[in-house]
Amino acid sequence: MSNDSKITRRGFIGSSLAIAAGVAGGTNILMPTAAAAAGNRKAKRSIRFAHFTDIHLEPKRNAPAGLAAALQHAQSQKDKPEMIITGGDHFMDLLGAQDNWTQVQIDTLKEVLAKECKLPMKFCVGNHDVWGWDKNYSKTTGTEELWGKKRFLKEFNLENRYYAFDAGKWRIIILDSTHIDDKDVYTAKFDDEQYNWLVQQIESNKDKYICLVNHIPILSAAVLLDGDNVKDGRWMLPDEWMHLDTQKLVGLFWKNQNVRLCISGHLHLLERLVYNNVNYVCDGAVCAAWWGGAFQQCEEGYGLFDLYDDGTFDHQYIDYGWKVEKA
């Protein structure tokens, strides 16, 4: 890979400057160009990390070699990321997997990571990382000691299903989007316990910029175009596709103004949007279409994030060059 640290940025800044409360009308503030922002950035970098979401690993589909290629690619960046943060769905599926097949998937991931990853990793739980919630297919009873999220947490030594850490001027908060639903396995939202903890994290870190990492997007328009979601002349989304508690979260972010960036996966689509001064990035998928090639218009890839001390950031979605072998 060449040219890594000298990316040509043909960008522009489209500002939302005047909607921020307190900015006087009538002032035409000239925004710096993205090129200037990138080339002459004065702010120090707080952290550079790679975001690997939706790996969907299993022994088949040449997936282990694909993940190895992605890890090698990220670690051979000239300006190497300091860590990898995952976006959930590490496994093809644990929701409906029986005990043995669950262990095979877990061991496969451990093997690839042990061999190929020299960077520290932070894990985020996705819906397919939850063992056995689909009791029918998984042949579980729900009374197994490691049923649900416990198995993933234990196997990968996570302190909790949600947690936070500091990186320079930023606080990075890893959250769990998957909430159990008796009707149809799961619902996308933060449960009350987690939401209250998140409020406390945001309110007690006013001197930091906040970056949230969770599996299912809090806000997305691409999700509406993901499938045939038009029914009876309306757009309808199931409760698994996008967070149900978005209105509450948007309100929380607006009130506190320190949340800058929300990163998700789940859709296997690449989308970036700005709403009320918060940036939402849905970051594609390492596996693209579950290792069957590009998913819709999105290639296999990972995100590379630079968070800066002034609350700005850069993001690139990097196609690491994976080619699916045609059978």
Partner 1 sequence: MSEKIGKTKITRREFVGGTVLAAVGLAGVEAFGKSSSCGFFADKKNSKKRSLRFAHITDVHIRPEHNAPEGFALALKHIQSHKDKPEMIITGGDHILDSIGENDSTTEMYWTLFKGIMKKECKLPVKYCIGNHDCWGGNKKKSGTTGNEPNWGVKRALQELEMPNKYYSFDQGKWRLIVLDSIVPTDTYCIGKIEDEQFAWLENEIKTANGKFIAIFTHIPIMSVGAYFYGGNNEKTGDWIVPGSRMIINARQLKDLFWQNRNVKLCVSGHIHLYEHIQYNGVHYISDGAVCGRWWKGAHQETEEGYGLFDLYDDGTFEHQYIDYGWQAKES
Q: In the complex with partner 1, which residue's Cβ is closer, 100 or 233?
A: 233
Rule CB under 8 A: say whether 312 interacts with partner 1.
yes
Query: Minimum Å distance from CB 121 to partner 1?
Result: 23
CB atoms within 10 A of CB 86: 26
273 touching partner 1, by CB under 8 A: yes
Distance, in Å, from the CA atom of 311 to the CA atom of 46, rounded to the nearest integer, reads 9
The verdict on 222 binding partner 1 (CB under 8 A) reads yes
Collect all residues with Cβ–Cβ distance below 8 Å to 286 and sequence separation of at least 6.
Answer: 52, 53, 54, 55, 56, 66, 67, 70, 300, 301, 302
Beta strand residue intervals within 26-169, DSSP E: 45-52, 83-86, 121-122, 163-167
Query: Considering the complex, what minimum distance in angstroms separates the CB of residue 207 from partner 1?
Result: 15
Name which position in 165, 166, 236, 292 contacts partner 1 (CB under 8 A). 236
Residues 6 or more apart in contact with residue 323 via CB below 8 angstroms: none
Q: Which of 86, 140, 220, 264 binds partner 1 (CB under 8 A)?
A: 220
Residue 77 makes contact with partner 1 by CB under 8 A: no
Q: Is 204 in the site for partner 1 (CB under 8 A)?
A: no
Residues 117-176 within binding reach of partner 1 (CB under 8 A): none
Q: Which of 11, 120, 142, 292 binds partner 1 (CB under 8 A)?
A: 11
Q: Which is nearer to partner 1, 99 or 240 (CB)?
A: 240
- Nearest C-alpha neighbor of 126 from the set 85, 181, 180, 88: 88
Among 54, 93, 155, 299, indicate the residue that binds partner 1 (CB under 8 A): 299
DSSP string, 144-207: STTTBTHHHHHHTT-S-SSEEEEETTEEEEE---EEEETTTEEEES--HHHHHHHHHHHHT-TT
Total residues binding partner 1 (CB under 8 A): 90
Among 118, 234, 326, 327, contact with partner 1 (rule: CB under 8 A): 234
Asked whether position 276 contacts partner 1 by CB under 8 A, the answer is: yes
Rule CB under 8 A: choose which of 275, 289, 290, 324 binds partner 1. Answer: 275
Closest CB to partner 1 among residues 8, 141: 8
198 binds partner 1 (CB under 8 A): no
Residues 240-259 that bind partner 1 (CB under 8 A): 241-242, 244-248, 250, 254, 257
Q: How many whole angstroms separate alpha carbon 214 and alpha carbon 123?
A: 10
Q: Shortest gap between Cβ of 96 and partner 1 (angstroms)?
A: 22
Among the candidate windows 50-58, 133-141, 146-154, 213-221, which touches partner 1 by CB under 8 A? 213-221
Give CA torsion, residues 256, 122, 87, 275, to 10 deg: 20
Distance CA 147, CA 210 (A): 32
d(CA 303, CA 316): 6
